[in-house]
């Protein structure tokens, strides 16, 4: 029978909150937090190991499969839940970091590369687009937030588990792509061609930076081509997640028509 937790000051609840709020706590414990049935199922399907599960029977009726399962009352659950409308289950999951050499890529992979993108919401939205477009991997270079940030997991709706993601340096990513003959296409305004005029039918890495500063010179110099999305209004940039979706689905269009 599961232990019942009725106090928000329970040590197990305090640890869960620390894992949600602090990347240092996640690194030290080797754990991260997943909230919601859908996200948790994607996590399990991706082969991650559940350490502990916290569930509220008023909201969650499915069977709980974990060695360490804790029932919490509504008051405690509202303390630990990060969003409204959640389904009454939160888990602590054992982290496992993918490396570049762990990626299993097809002959002509489609890869998204993000350099120094900081906002978890943007990263999560890009991952959703990558999943929708069937991208083979997402490389997060010189990251300013960790992959297991709860806001990133939430924004991705679990796509952080459905698309192979690797955090690495830009130098390592460039060497990895060059060694495999994958074309590097950098999204930038300067010295660039319209994105739909660029061939994306072969192995392709679409590289994007932050809206504020764009890509660093190391990526611009490593690029095989520079591409841009035409901006017909007064502004000169789109949100990185919107840009990613446009470029990814151009690659999908070309590959389907090719």
Q: What angle do CA 61, 63, 68 make, to 5 degrees?
A: 115
For residue 205, what are its two tokens? Answer: 């890495």
Quote the pLDDT of residue 106: 96
Quote the pLDDT of residue 26: 96
Interatomic CA distance for residues 4 and 77, integer angstroms: 12
Interatomic CA distance for residues 135 and 253, integer angstroms: 13
Report the SS3 class of residue 55.
strand
pLDDT tens-place values along the chain, 258 residues long: 678 999 999 999 999 999 999 999 999 999 999 998 889 999 999 999 999 999 998 887 776 677 799 999 999 999 999 876 668 999 999 999 889 999 999 999 999 999 998 899 999 999 999 999 999 999 999 988 889 999 999 999 999 999 999 999 999 999 999 999 999 999 998 889 999 999 999 999 999 998 777 899 999 999 999 999 999 998 888 899 999 999 999 999 999 986
Beta-carbon contacts of residue 172 (< 8 Å; ≥ 6 apart): 100
Quote the pLDDT of residue 85: 62
Query: CB neighbours (10 Å) of residue 64?
Result: 17
Q: What angle do CA 213, 161, 148 make, to 5 degrees?
A: 60
Quote the pLDDT of residue 255: 96
Domains of the chain: 3-94 (3.30.1330.30), 100-257 (3.40.1280.10)
């Amino acid at each position: 029978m599961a232990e019942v937790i009725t106090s928000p000051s329970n040590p197990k609840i305090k640890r869960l909150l620390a894992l949600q709020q602090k990347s240092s706590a996640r690194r030290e414990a080797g754990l991260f937090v997943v909230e919601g049935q859908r996200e948790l199922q994607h996590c399990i399907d991706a082969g991650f190991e559940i350490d502990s599960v916290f569930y509220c029977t008023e909201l969650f009726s499915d069977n709980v499969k974990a060695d360490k399962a804790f029932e919490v009352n509504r008051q405690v659950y509202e303390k630990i839940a990060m969003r409204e409308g959640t389904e009454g289950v939160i888990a602590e999951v054992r982290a496992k970091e993918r490396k570049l050499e762990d990626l299993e890529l097809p002959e002509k992979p489609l890869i998204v590369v993000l350099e120094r993108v900081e906002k978890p919401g943007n990263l999560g939205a890009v991952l959703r687009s990558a999943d929708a477009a069937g991208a083979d991997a997402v490389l997060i270079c010189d990251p300013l937030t960790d992959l297991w940030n709860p806001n990133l997991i939430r924004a991705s709706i679990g796509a952080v588990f459905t698309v192979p993601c690797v955090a690495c340096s830009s130098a390592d990513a460039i060497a990895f792509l060059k060694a495999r003959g994958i074309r590097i296409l950098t999204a930038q305004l300067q010295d660039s061609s319209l994105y739909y005029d660029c061939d994306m039918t072969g192995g392709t890495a679409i590289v994007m930076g932050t809206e504020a500063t764009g890509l660093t010179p190391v990526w611009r110099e490593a690029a095989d081509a520079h591409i841009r999305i035409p901006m017909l209004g007064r502004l000169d940039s789109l949100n990185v997640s919107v840009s990613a979706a446009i470029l990814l689905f151009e690659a999908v269009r070309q590959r389907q028509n090719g």
